[in-house]
Amino acid sequence: MKKTKTEGRGIAGAVVGSIVAHAALAVIAGVWVVAHYIRNEPPQFVAPPAPKIKIPPQTRQHRMNLAAHAGLASKPVFKQRLVSLRPTSFALPEAPKISMTDLLAPDPSAMATSVVTGLAGAGGIGAGSGFGLGGAGGKGIGSGIQFLGVQANGRKVLLLFDVSRSVVNKAAQSSMPLVKIKEETLTMIDQLPADARFGMIQFVRNYKPFASSLIAATKPNRDLARQWVETEWNESGQMARSGKSVISPSPNGLPPILRAAFQMDPDVIFIISDGSFERGVETSEKISSQEFDALLAELQGARAMKVPVHFIGFQMRPVDKECWEKIARRYGGSLKELK
């Protein structure tokens, strides 16, 4: 069948269009390939390898030179090179003043007592005396002091003696009258080391201190204490305000005496009494336990270290015993009743 002229023209157009499309695609592909090869590569940062540093080995002579240099002595300063070939005048510094009362010879009786104490152990000195020394360590004498059978620690000791008529009578009826308490007091003072301090106060409603402050337990001061006890010890049951060295606060009684005692700054306080305290002049007003509680809280509250208060009583009333037992226990002390 013979093709017409129009069909031949259509076939020719299709062939030409196909050729043109393929040519365009070839041109585009060629352009992409050329562009891919001619474009710039992105920069890359590459650290070069670290150079190898090789330290040459030190020679033996070099090490010896360094050691010799390190061992050289420093050059002397100018004043160290000044040498005097002749003696010259010079002055020594003034010697400090030394109290001769502190240069005490050993007391043979104290040394003998120490030996006996070491052999006897912690049981104390003598039978039933109530006074003894503890072992080594702690404050005070050895591990502490024992006064009338009560153990305490401290190097500043203050003794408060109630010498009222009721206490004198009750003490006389017990195994520890005031005469024996006086002997035990002197024995304790004799056993105090020289660096300890002590004080004594006798009181009824007024009071009489041995000294206005605690004094060192040197031999001269011990002698003064012995003389004071022998001459000023009061067993009459009274203390007139006009008496020698008697202090009469207003109102009187134990509270102002305790204030005066704490002002002496003791480490430990012993109170020897029957626990029943009155105040005023020619009155029988009793001081309540609530007042003593408040007073001791005030006096102890201002101190960094609480002061143990040990109470040694004679024939105490139950209410008084309960009061002072609580006070003593609250501040690290104890109560002992002598019957």
The pLDDT tens digits for 155-191 are 899 999 988 888 888 888 877 888 888 888 888 888 8
Is the pLDDT reported for residue 115 higher than 50? no
Tell me which of 212 and 55 has the higher pLDDT: 212
- For the chain, the straight-line distance linking the first and the last C-alpha, in angstroms and rounded, comes to 161
- Model pLDDT, residue 51: 77
The pLDDT tens digits for 191-223 are 888 888 999 999 988 899 999 999 999 999 999
The residue type found at 33 is V
Is the pLDDT reported for residue 305 higher than 70? yes
Distance, CA of 312 to CA of 338 (rounded, Å): 7
235: confidence class by pLDDT, cuts 50, 70, 90: confident
Which residue is listed with tokens 């005469």?
Answer: 179
Q: Helices (DSSP H) in the chain: which residue ranges? A: 5-38, 60-70, 108-120, 165-173, 178-191, 219-232, 254-263, 289-301, 318-330
**For 285-303, what is the mean pLDDT?**
87
- Specify the range with the lowest mean pLDDT, choosing from 9-18, 91-100, 163-172: 91-100
- Model pLDDT, residue 109: 44
127: confidence class by pLDDT, cuts 50, 70, 90: very low
**For 274-283, what is the mean pLDDT?**
78
Distance, CA of 99 to CA of 209 (rounded, Å): 25
- Specify the range with the lowest mean pLDDT, choosing from 121-135, 168-182, 255-269: 121-135
